[in-house]
């Protein structure tokens, strides 16, 4: 993200436009004039190591004028919470700040910030505009160099305040880690309520931090395994509408739903191709499940596998050339990689236990999976050539990993035992550290991350 994304300030940005594309909001970014000259940044977080020591950072409570005072404080709190949850930053308690009452125009007393051990500082102001919008400005400071690293300004409507906070978090994260952030994203998942033997399952969507939960279906029909389109506000998932389990496409903006294809049997385990133009899925016929590809434009379907086995959970490599999937063709569930046309399938998992639900990292270098061994359910990663297997978390029941759009974090669900038990959505860093539960109103499973909303 550059300092100046475009010069279209004061553009009215409705929530609907925002939902469609963050450009409405990001386009309103203008650079805030640097108080000091930009120079080489001295601080940088090296996140290539296994266990990262979180960077101490101070987020000075944002200043608000008039009606926006509460909101200003809330925005800086969400920024601090985002950075903390990433595990890469350690926000310093506001009570420890020596320099108080800052706004975006205040020059930091860097010595005061060094004294409390802060390496970076975020300051900001929120102001009400005459047209009802809010103007948000923030700066990121390098405390040791005494320099401004970022200064940005946004205009948006007040109801977008959480997205505003996430966009600021992404800018800070990217500037300090060198990787794209993932805070301005959503997660689609299955909301689960009611007793274990009569669960009501609803398609739901939330911000990546668990805020703003919305229900996309009413719970009349069983729904499972939603997956986000990498390019649009669409979800593909499995629904038992009319007692006929099939793969559906759902438009989040319009609420429109359509069945994908006219297959002679149950279809399930759908996932988009990286360009969003195709959906790959399983078709059940008799005892066997095989993989099919459906072109969303031409509606043409292509059969990719033809085995007397269960082939399921397909996932494309980010370049679209290969597909990883699970199959029990060799006797137990294992991971296979094949060409996107279905040729050249090769088994890549050889450890003890069963491997399932593979999903290719958006970076391309790793495949995440669920592994079941001796009654333990694990989330792990393996290289596409089958080498370098690493288990990130293990326990009674962990299942169904999905990647953050920057390939840094995995979300999955963890189920608990017994009648009162149920699944919750968790995240874990690629290193295996920093496990975090995502608070949801009910039980929740099958999380799938949206792309970054820019």
The tokens for 102 are 């800052």
Q: Which of 95, 255, 258, 417 binds another protein (CB under 8 A)?
A: 417
What x-and-dash track marks residues 282-311 binding another protein by CB under 8 A? x-x-xxxx--------------------x-
Residues near 143 by Cβ (< 8 Å), separated by ≥ 6?
43, 58, 108, 110, 113, 114, 118, 119, 120, 121
Smallest gap from Cβ 43 to another protein, in A, equals 42
3-state secondary structure of 170: helix
Count, residues in the chain: 454
Please report how close the Cβ of residue 244 comes to another protein at its closest, in angstroms: 8
Q: Does 196 bind another protein (CB under 8 A)?
A: yes
Interface with another protein (CB under 8 A), residue from 25, 120, 203, 269:
269
> Going residue by residue from 203 to 232, which x/- string records binding to another protein, judged by CB under 8 A?
-------------------x-xx-------
Could you give phi then psi for residue 203, rounded to 5 degrees?
A: -75, 130
With contacts defined by CB under 8 A, name the span among 47-55, 141-149, 206-214, 411-419 that binds another protein.
411-419
Which residues, 6+ apart, have CB-to-CB distance to 313 below 8 Å? 269, 282, 325, 326, 356, 357, 358, 359
Binding mask 238-257 for another protein (x = CB under 8 A): x----x-x------------
In sequence order, what E strands does 252-389 have?
257-259, 267-272, 278-285, 288-295, 301-303, 311-316, 322-327, 334-339, 346-347, 354-360, 367-373, 376-382
How near is the Cβ of 313 to another protein at its closest, in Å? 5
Is 419 near another protein (CB under 8 A)? Answer: yes
Residue 201 interacting with another protein (CB under 8 A): yes
Q: Which is nearer to another protein, 45 or 238 (CB)?
A: 238
**Total residues at interface with another protein (CB under 8 A):** 44
CB of 347 to another protein, least distance (A): 16
Q: Which is nearer to another protein, 233 or 356 (CB)?
A: 356
User: Which residue in 258, 249, 309, 312 sits closest to 276, CA to CA?
Assistant: 249
Q: DSSP state, 201?
A: E
Nearest distance in Å: CB 204, another protein: 16
Burial of 28 (0-12, 13-18, 19+ CB in 10 A): buried
Which neighbouring-strand residues pair with 368? 359, 381
Residue 389: count other Cβ atoms within 10 Å of its Cβ.
17
Binding region for another protein (CB under 8 A) out of 57-65, 154-162, 195-203, 294-302: 195-203
Interface residues toward another protein, by CB under 8 A:
194-199, 201, 222, 224-225, 238, 243, 245, 266, 268-269, 282, 284, 286-289, 310, 312-313, 326, 328, 332-333, 356-357, 370, 372, 375, 397, 399-400, 415, 417-419, 421, 445-446
């Amino acid at each position: 993200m550059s300092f100046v994304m475009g010069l279209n300030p004061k553009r009215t940005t409705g929530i609907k436009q925002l939902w469609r594309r963050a450009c409405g909001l990001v386009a309103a970014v203008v650079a805030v004039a640097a108080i000091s000259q930009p120079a080489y940044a001295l601080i940088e977080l090296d996140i290539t190591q296994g266990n990262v020591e979180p960077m101490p950072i101070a987020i000075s409570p944002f200043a608000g004028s008039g009606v926006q005072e509460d909101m200003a404080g809330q925005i800086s709190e969400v920024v601090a919470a985002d950075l903390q949850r990433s595990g890469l930053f350690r926000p310093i308690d506001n009570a420890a700040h020596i320099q108080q009452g800052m706004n975006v125009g205040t020059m930091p007393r860097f010595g005061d910030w060094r004294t409390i051990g802060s390496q970076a500082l975020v300051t900001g102001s929120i102001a009400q505009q005459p047209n009802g919008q809010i103007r948000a400005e923030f700066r990121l400071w390098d405390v040791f160099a005494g320099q401004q690293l970022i200064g940005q300004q946004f205009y948006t409507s007040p109801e977008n305040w959480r997205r505003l906070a996430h966009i600021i978090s992404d800018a800070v994260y990217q500037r300090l880690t060198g990787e794209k952030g993932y805070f301005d994203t959503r997660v689609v998942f299955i909301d689960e309520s009611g007793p274990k033997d009569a669960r009501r399952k609803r398609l739901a969507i939330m911000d990546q931090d668990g805020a703003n939960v919305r229900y996309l279906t009413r719970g009349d029909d069983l729904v499972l395994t939603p997956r986000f389109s990498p390019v649009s506000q669409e979800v593909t998932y499995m629904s038992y509408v009319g007692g006929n389990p099939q793969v559906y496409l759902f438009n989040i903006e319009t609420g429109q739903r359509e069945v994908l294809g006219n297959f002679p049997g149950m279809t399930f385990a759908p996932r988009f191709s990286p360009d969003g133009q195709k959906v790959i899925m399983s078709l059940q016929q008799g005892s066997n499940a095989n993989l099919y590809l459906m072109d969303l434009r031409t509606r043409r379907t292509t059969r990719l596998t033809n085995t007397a086995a269960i082939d399921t959970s397909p996932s494309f490599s980010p370049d679209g050339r290969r597909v990883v999937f699970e199959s029990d063709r060799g006797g137990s569930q294992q991971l296979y990689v094949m060409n996107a046309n279905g040729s050249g399938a090769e088994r890549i998992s050889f450890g003890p236990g069963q491997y399932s639900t593979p999903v290719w990292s958006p970076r391309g270098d790793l495949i995440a999976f669920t592994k079941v061994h001796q009654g333990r359910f694990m989330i792990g990663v393996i290289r596409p050539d089958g080498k370098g297997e690493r288990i990130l978390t293990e326990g009674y029941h962990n299942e169904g990993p999905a990647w953050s759009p920057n390939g840094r974090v995995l979300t999955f669900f963890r189920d608990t035992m017994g009648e009162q038990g149920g699944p919750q959505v968790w995240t874990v860093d690629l290193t295996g550290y920093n496990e975090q539960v995502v608070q949801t109103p009910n039980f929740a499973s099958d999380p799938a991350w949206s792309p970054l909303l820019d």
